[in-house]
Amino acid sequence: MTRLVAGNWKMNGSLAANSALLEGLAVPVGVEVAVCVPFPYLAQLQQRPAGLALGAQDVSEFESGAYTGEVSAAMLADFGCRYVIVGHSERRALFGEDDEVVGRKARAAMAAGVVPIVCVGETLTERDEGRVMQVIGRQLEAVIKVLGAQAMSAVVLAYEPVWAIGSGRSAEVAQVAEVHAGIREWLRRQGVAAGSVRILYGGSVKAENAAALFAVPEVDGGLIGGASLVARDFMTICRAAAGVV
């Protein structure tokens, strides 16, 4: 399947900085590339390099109405978002999003035709305790419970070990391969057409380690934080995903 590289700008950017960054982006052939930007910049990104898909970083679980400060999935669709990140570990840890909220947000996105990029992953303590697949299974369970097995095959998953995010310390290739295979096996056991689910890796993906990570057969792309803010680095990562190193 075509790999997907999604940039997660997080809470970074300005109108001027975004324009400069976008000038340096040219989507290579053979890979799908998206940028997930802060809500106010969805308007600015209506003008963007050819072939670059648009995404957001969060979405309301509610459809519309009296939910001050929330942004609905329909609004994201209105702005042409193909993707939305759901359940990023920063939202889980800092904004109290539990597995059930993440499931409902994924459902809200799907209902509006926006593909959720559902993030899962363990903390270092959970890894040390040997509970990686137990934790990820619990996180996935909450999503499949609301979506059902069939719709689950249409989501994008991102394995992001919490300890690898923004730390400069990517997971080892062998660790990534093991967890991605574990996730696919888990999906299969739930009756999901696991072969068609894109599973991205995220956590300190850089220009230097991208090719090695994308060489893992189970890795269908990447969710890129820090390195997506530097056009040259992000392009190197995209080319690595396209197989043009």
165 interacts with ligand PGA by CB under 6 A: yes
162 interacts with ligand PGA by CB under 6 A: no
Interface segment toward ligand PGA; rule CB under 6 A; list 51-59, 100-108, 174-182, 223-231: 223-231
| E strands in 68-169 | 81-86, 115-120, 156-159
180 is known as an active-site residue = no
User: Can you name the residues that pair with 53 across neighbouring β-strands?
Assistant: 34
200 interacts with ligand PGA by CB under 6 A: no
- 131 Cβ contact list (under 8 Å, min separation 6): 122
160 interacts with ligand PGA by CB under 6 A: yes
Which of 225, 235, 237, 238 lies at the binding interface for ligand PGA (CB under 6 A)? Answer: 225
The Cα–Cα gap between 79 and 76 comes to 5
Burial class (CB in 10 A: 0-12, 13-18, 19+), 62: middle
In the complex, what is the shortest distance from the CB of residue 203 to ligand PGA, in angstroms, rounded to a whole number?
5
7 interacts with ligand PGA by CB under 6 A: no
Q: Given the complex with ligand PGA, which of 7 and 103 has the nearer CB atom?
A: 7
120 interacts with ligand PGA by CB under 6 A: no
Interface segment toward ligand PGA; rule CB under 6 A; list 53-61, 70-78, 191-199, 201-209: 201-209
The Cα–Cα gap between 24 and 163 comes to 30
Q: Given the complex with ligand PGA, which of 60 and 204 has the nearer CB atom?
A: 204
In the complex, what is the shortest distance from the CB of residue 93 to ligand PGA, in angstroms, rounded to a whole number?
11
User: Can you name the residues that pair with 115 across neighbouring β-strands?
Assistant: 83
Interface segment toward ligand PGA; rule CB under 6 A; list 26-34, 55-63, 135-143, 158-166: 158-166
The Cα–Cα gap between 228 and 182 comes to 27
157 interacts with ligand PGA by CB under 6 A: no
54 interacts with ligand PGA by CB under 6 A: no
The Cα–Cα gap between 174 and 31 comes to 23
Size of interface with ligand PGA, in residues (CB under 6 A): 13
Burial class (CB in 10 A: 0-12, 13-18, 19+), 209: middle
88 is known as an active-site residue = yes
Closest CA to 116 of 94, 101, 133: 101
Nearest 10 degrees: Cα torsion 52, 150, 123, 56: 30
Q: Which residues are catalytic?
A: 88, 160
Which residues here bind ligand PGA, judged by CB under 6 A? 8, 160, 165-166, 202-205, 223-227
